[in-house]
Amino acid sequence: MSDMTHPKDERTLVVIKPDGVQRSLMGEIIGRYEAVGLKLVGMKMLVPTAEHIEAHYTLDPNWRRVTGEKTIKSYKDKGMTPPSEDPLEITAKILTNLKKYMTSGPVVAMAWEGAHAVKIVRKITGGTEPLTSDVGTIRGDYVLDSYQMADTDNRAVRNLIHASGSVDEANAEIAHWFKPGELTDYRIIHEEILYDVNLDGILE
Ligand code: GDP
Ligand code: MG
């Protein structure tokens, strides 16, 4: 068995949000994570409840404050006035809109495993706001929403995907979305080439 502390054993949570399912981007999104060499170890489609979504976003007790502060800063950086100076008031609104968005239809929850899975998935997924997420990332290539549009229309920003932000967040989120028996340990042939130290299994 593999050593659980090795970076190749890292896992992360990805959720294809309702807009990703509706826009028929499931295959494209899954393909991006597969192509880089990550291994899918759990997957299910479901319509989440509002309680499940609120718990998901508040697994980190600092999320309300940090996200509120980040939002205020992003308004000020653009020379705009934030809707409130109180981070918690801002996040309450964001959370209400996220619950509406994330419960509007089926989502696909997935656990991906591989070297530096959390950071690799974030890199491929791209920045939170599609307006500024890099070209070549999923959020940069397949969607065009902005905080400005979302806030004007009083809705969540439609950015196709949720991806865990850190290893601790990933572990908490995977436990929130999957029961232990819903994750599968198995080997795929990619791993022989990605991680084998000697590459001594190719030539006959
Ligand atoms: P993620 O990890 O890249 O999804 O981003 P966060 O964890 O920081 O935020 C979670 C969700 O909150 C995002 O997907 C957005 O829907 C929402 N959100 C985060 N920051 C902002 C913001 O500055 N403005 C608005 N309107 N929504 C935000
Ligand atoms: Mg996050």
pLDDT mean for each 10 residues of the chain (204 residues): 73 98 98 98 98 97 94 90 93 96 98 98 97 98 95 96 97 97 95 92 88
pTM (2 d.p.):
0.94
Please give the DSSP secondary-structure letter assigned to residue 203: -
In angstroms, the CA 163 to CA 154 distance is 23
Q: What is the pLDDT of residue 11?
A: 98
Q: Structure tokens of 42?
A: 């759990």
Best residue among 94, 97, 145, 151 to mutate for probing ligand 1's pocket (most ligand atoms within 8 Å of CB) is 94
* Three-state DSSP class for residue 195: helix
Q: What is the pLDDT of residue 56?
A: 98
| Beta strand segments in 66-120, E | 107-113
Region of 114 (left: φ > 0; alpha: ψ -120 to 50; beta: rest) is left
- Asked if 201 and 192 touch (Cβ cutoff 8 Å), the reply is yes
Ligand 1 site, residue 176, Cβ cutoff 6 A: no
Q: What is the pLDDT of residue 134?
A: 98
Question: What separation in angstroms does the CA of 36 have from each of 16, 182, 191?
Answer: 18, 23, 12
> How far is the centre of ligand 2, averaged over its atoms, from the C-alpha of 163 (Å)?
7
For residue 184, which of 106, 107, 113 has the smallest C-alpha distance? 113
Q: Provide the edge-to-edge strand list for the sheet that holds 39-46.
A: 39-46, 107-113, 11-16, 161-163
| Beta strand segments in 77-185, E | 107-113, 161-163
> How far is the centre of ligand 2, averaged over its atoms, from the C-alpha of 204 (Å)?
47
Domains of the chain: 7-47+105-195 (3.30.70.141)
Q: What is the pLDDT of residue 3?
A: 47
> How far is the centre of ligand 2, averaged over its atoms, from the C-alpha of 200 (Å)?
40
